[in-house]
Amino acid sequence: MNSSASPLLQLPVELWLLVLAQFDDNLVELWCVVRNVSHFFRACVDDFFSHGIVQKTLINLRYSDIHTQSGPTHAYLHLPMVFDRLSDNGHRAIFQQRAFKQTSNFQAASGSLRGWVPFLERYAAETRQKKPTIVNKSKPDPLPPLWEREHAALRNTLQGDRKSRYMLIIRDMTSLARGDRPPFYIRISKYINDSDLVDLVVDCEQREISFNWRQTFMLFFREHNMIARAGGMIPPRRYDKDLDGASAGLNFRIKQDRPLIRARRKRLHPWVKKNKHRMSTEMRLATEKRVEREMEHLKKHLFIHNLEPVKEDPNAAPEIVPEKLAKDHADLLFWPRVDDTLYYSPPRSLKACIIM
């Protein structure tokens, strides 16, 4: 290190924290560039984030009432989480559950961490991640998921628009926690994403989750750094050409050139490569559009002033939670390639070509 740099680095850490605070509108640059200048700056940036940014971070866990509510209508359940404290060694951030205020513009029903756990476990299995640690977990219900027990009867007895709406809803609800649709969103300042929560621990009884915040932030900001730099890619790189073709065919209004879409597709590419045979391309596109709408919605409504403590209901019945989520249903995953009874009809491929 040369002598001209030494006086700067000898400034008190507190002064550097004041300097970094002037750039809190560009957290991506702080994390991905300034933090990597040197060990000293990494320590300063980590200190700045741990004493300010982590505390303002919000997480929205979500699942649905398909295990507790009979069809044909279903709704999403939300578990907004706010920062509570850091672990003793400062490596883990602990968040506690809140609820959306029903007086806000975002009317959202609350759920429980216990009800969310099967969705989390499915997502971890889908993406082949380390199984999350779950503590204080009550025993699951021994029966198959409620929606699965009802599905055949509803599909075969509902008629017209009611049937179409039911199939649309249940396709949407059962796509949650698949590998291309994580059951959570992270909000850090003005940024929002569904990148992973690393080394996650869930305490169902205490309504708390904890995770390695540095590793989580690394994944989060790495993707947003790609988003920030993707505008200079000419032509932009494509990570899922199948979805581009399906979008044109269905006239879906998704801006395929958006850096956010491309960055997310890059992250999902390993999962898509191994799993795209399980569902139609149109179904994957519908899931992508749903995620995009949800992120835009949370940008407008996921704020600390829209949240309140969870209200206990002593008369509430215990939530019905299955051991695990239902397996794939072809009539749901291969939309729109289904016949009139909404059973899957696989597309026929050309076996041979005879030239006359």
Share of the chain above pLDDT 90, in %: 62
Does the residue 249 lie in any domain? no
For residue 217, what are the domain limits? Answer: 57-235+306-324
Q: What are phi and psi of 111, to 5 degrees?
A: -125, -160
| Residue 29 sits in the same domain as residue 87 | no
Q: What is the mean pLDDT of residues 329-356?
A: 60
* pLDDT at residue number 218: 97
Strand partners, 209: 95, 202
Per-residue pLDDT of 74-120, as tens digits, reads 999 999 999 999 999 999 999 999 999 876 566 678 899 999 999 99
| Residue 101 sits in the same domain as residue 167 | yes
| Residue 169 sits in the same domain as residue 44 | no
| Residue 141 sits in the same domain as residue 173 | yes
* Among 1, 147, 133, CA closest to 65: 147
Per-residue pLDDT of 244-264, as tens digits, reads 777 765 555 555 447 888 889
* Residue 284, CB-side half-sphere exposure with 13 Å CA sphere: 24
| Residue 47 sits in the same domain as residue 150 | no
State how far the Cα of 325 lies from the Cα of 118, in Å rounded to an integer: 6
| Residue 29 sits in the same domain as residue 62 | no
Q: Is the confidence at residue 284, as pLDDT, over 60? A: yes
Does the residue 86 lie in any domain? yes
Does the residue 162 lie in any domain? yes
Q: Is the confidence at residue 308, as pLDDT, over 50? A: yes
Residue with token string 């590998």: 179
| Residue 89 sits in the same domain as residue 167 | yes
Q: Is the confidence at residue 6, as pLDDT, over 90? A: no
Q: What is the mean pLDDT of residues 133-142?
A: 94
Does the residue 139 lie in any domain? yes
| Residue 44 sits in the same domain as residue 149 | no
Does the residue 256 lie in any domain? no
* Among 59, 131, 66, CA closest to 97: 59
Under DSSP, the state recorded for 75 is: -
At 235, which amino acid appears? P
| Residue 48 sits in the same domain as residue 84 | no
Does the residue 91 lie in any domain? yes
Does the residue 103 lie in any domain? yes
| Residue 62 sits in the same domain as residue 52 | no
Q: Please give the helix or strand (H or E) that residue 187 lies within, else none.
A: strand 184-188
| Residue 44 sits in the same domain as residue 100 | no
Does the residue 171 lie in any domain? yes
Per-residue pLDDT of 213-248, as tens digits, reads 999 999 999 999 887 776 655 456 677 778 877 776
* pLDDT at residue number 105: 62
Per-residue pLDDT of 168-211, as tens digits, reads 999 999 999 999 999 999 999 999 999 999 999 999 999 999 99
* Among 222, 231, 228, CA closest to 267: 222
Per-chain mean pLDDT for the chain: 85
* Number of domains forming the structure of the chain: 2
| Residue 81 sits in the same domain as residue 134 | yes
